[in-house]
A and B are shown apart, each in its own frame.
Chain A
Amino acid sequence: MTDEQPQEKYVYREPGQIPAQTPPPTKVLTDFTKKFKSKIPAISKKKVITLAIVLLFLLTAVLAINLLAQKQQDQAPPAPRQITADEPSPSENPSNAEIAKRVGELTAKLDNMIDYGKKVQYPIVDLAISFDK
Chain B
Amino acid sequence: MPANSLIINRLSSIVIALLLVFFANFSPIFAQTQTPLEKAQADYNFQYTKYKDSQEAYYTSKASYMSFKTAIAKTDAYNKTKAYLDQTDQLYLTFIALLKEYANSINWDKTDLQKETFAKLSQTEIDYITDHKNRVANTKTLEELPPLADELKTHLKDTTEPTFNKNLAMLELAQVEATLSDFNSLSRILDRIVIFKLRAGETQAVLSNWNSEIASIRTSTEKDVQDAKTKLDSFKDTSLSSGQLNEISNYTQDGQSELKRSKPLFEELVRIL
Given A58-B22, A88-B188, A109-B179, A117:B145 Cβ within 8 A: no
CB-CB under 8 A from A103, the residues of chain B are 186, 266-267, 269-270
CB-CB under 8 A from A114, the residues of chain B are 102, 175
The answer to whether B189 and A56 have CB atoms under 8 Å apart is: no
Given A116-B172, A131-B146, A125:B18 Cβ within 8 A: no
Q: Distance (Å) between the CB of A30 and the closest chain B CB?
A: 17
CB-CB under 8 A from A130, the residues of chain B are 146
Q: Distance (Å) between the CB of B155 and the closest chain A CB?
A: 10
Number of A-B pairs, beta carbon distance below 8 Å: 148
CB-CB under 8 A from B156, the residues of chain A are 125, 127
> How many residues of chain B are within 8 Å of chain A by beta carbon?
77
The CA-CA distance from A55 to B25 in the complex, in Å, is 13
The CA-CA distance from A87 to B256 in the complex, in Å, is 24
Given A88-B189, A96-B273, A110-B260, A48:B12 Cβ within 8 A: yes
The answer to whether B66 and A107 have CB atoms under 8 Å apart is: no
The answer to whether A59 and B25 have CB atoms under 8 Å apart is: yes
CB-CB under 8 A from B188, the residues of chain A are 87-88
A115 within 8 A of B: yes
Q: Distance (Å) between the CB of A114 and the closest chain B CB?
A: 7
CB under 8 Å from chain B, chain A span 98-122: 99-100, 102-103, 105-107, 109-111, 113-117, 120, 122
The CA-CA distance from A48 to B152 in the complex, in Å, is 63
B81-120 near A? 1/0 per residue, CB < 8 Å: 1001100100110010011001000010110000000000
B225 within 8 A of A: no
CB-CB under 8 A from A49, the residues of chain B are 11
The answer to whether B168 and A120 have CB atoms under 8 Å apart is: yes
The answer to whether A45 and B179 have CB atoms under 8 Å apart is: no
A44-84 near B? 1/0 per residue, CB < 8 Å: 01001101100110110011011001000100000011110
The CA-CA distance from A88 to B190 in the complex, in Å, is 11
The CA-CA distance from A105 to B168 in the complex, in Å, is 24
The CA-CA distance from A85 to B99 in the complex, in Å, is 30
Q: Which residues of A contact B (CB under 8 A)?
A: 43, 45, 48-49, 51-52, 55-56, 58-59, 62-63, 65-66, 69, 73, 80-83, 87-88, 92, 94, 96, 99-100, 102-103, 105-107, 109-111, 113-117, 120, 122-123, 125-131, 133
Please give 19 more A-B residue pairs, beta carbons under 8 A apart, in addition to A113-B175, A127-B149, A128-B149. Answer: A59-B22, A62-B25, A62-B29, A69-B32, A73-B32, A81-B110, A87-B188, A88-B189, A92-B189, A100-B273, A106-B182, A110-B260, A113-B179, A115-B256, A120-B168, A125-B91, A129-B58, A129-B85, A131-B77
